[in-house]
Amino acid sequence: MKYVLLVIAVAAVAARAESPVALYYHEAAGIAQAARIKQAELALDFDGSRIIGGAAAAVGTYPFLVGLVITLSTGATSVCGSSMLSNTRALTAAHCWWDGRNQARQFTLVFGSARLFSGGTRVASSSVQMHAAYSPTTLSNDVAIISFSSVPYSNVVRAVALPSGSLLSNNFAGSWVQAAGYGKTSDAAGISQNQFQSHVSLQVITNAACAQFFGGIIVSSTLCTGGSGGVGTCSGDSGGPLVLSSGGQRVLVGVTSFGSSRGCQAGFPSGFARVTSFLSWIQARL
């Protein structure tokens, strides 16, 4: 999932020197992955696991996961993920719309589909509001709201819960969370026309621990998950959900944002926009 990140605790300790985060998502990851999908129309490479160290997720397992097929202003195609907040709103990463070099022209939102490029309910939208303080060079405030024509709920299409109560003051360090998306399984893996949803469990680490890898780019509104054990997100997962199971439901706590420029398997944490830091901004736009 996403376009950066993970693995091997020993390597992470040995390579504790700070790493730059991966920037300019569309040219660094999204466009290339979309192109590989088009070139593999007839490929059937589904091997049971998408996301690094994860597993395939049946349709409806994450009914709030909304795929994004992106048309850039240049006419190129890219891919991201998002989370359904209501019948007419979804939350994604701001860099999916504007990554500092590449401007999106339109999102095609994909609801209730195991695959990103076929099936499900598909709705086009160019109505996107990025956070006013979003920085494409530091990926701070990396959140955006997508408005779209109403999509009915079903068994496989449902809005995600937002944090409330005691979760509002929780930094989630040590908690196990789940990430879901349509992205790659390793730096070397491709994405096919038959790309499936997948998911993985990750453990939240403290921002202080994350800053040992990324330095001052880690701020209070960042949430990080560890990279040990060979699990994480990779190309194609940007903007997708990170959820915590609480009170019998999945609660959105992060938006997939960044990782190491060294790639998905370099042993570095994953970075997410911390949803509790943006809750009032999000709720004002629902």
Q: Catalytic residue, from 26, 95, 131, 199: name it.
A: 95
pTM for the full model? Answer: 0.85
* Domains of the chain, start order: 25-43+55-284 (2.40.10.10)
Note if 238 is an active site residue.
yes
Q: What is the mean pLDDT of residues 138-156?
A: 97
Using alpha carbons only, give the angle 56, 59, 62 rounded to the nearest 5 degrees: 85
State the amino acid at position 126 in one-letter form. S
Note if 95 is an active site residue.
yes
Query: Which comes out higher in pLDDT, residue 244 or 269?
Result: 244
Spell out the residues 6+ positions from residue 131 whose beta carbon is closer than 8 angstroms to its own: 94, 141, 142, 143, 144, 278, 281
pLDDT (tens digit, 9 = 90+) per residue, 225-246?
998 765 555 656 799 999 999 9
DSSP 80-113: EEEEE-SSSEEEE-HHHHB-SS-BEEEEEEEES-
Q: Catalytic residue, from 26, 131, 142, 260: name it.
A: 142
Residue 225 near residue 272, CB atoms below 8 Å: yes
Instruction: Give Cα 46 to chain centroid, integer Å.
Output: 20
Rounded CA-CA distance 182/201 in Å is 15
Q: Catalytic residue, from 82, 113, 221, 238: name it.
A: 238
Residue 192's pLDDT band (cuts 50, 70, 90): very low
Residue 2 near residue 238, CB atoms below 8 Å: yes
Kindly compute the dihedral angle of the four CA atoms of residues 187, 189, 193, 197, in this order, to the nearest 10 degrees. Answer: -70
Q: Which of 15-29, 52-66, 158-172 has the highest mean pLDDT?
A: 158-172
Q: Please classify residue 247 by burial: count the beta carbons closer than 10 Å to its beta carbon, then call 0-12 exposed, 13-18 middle and 19+ buried.
A: exposed
Q: Which residue is it, tokens 């979003």?
A: 134
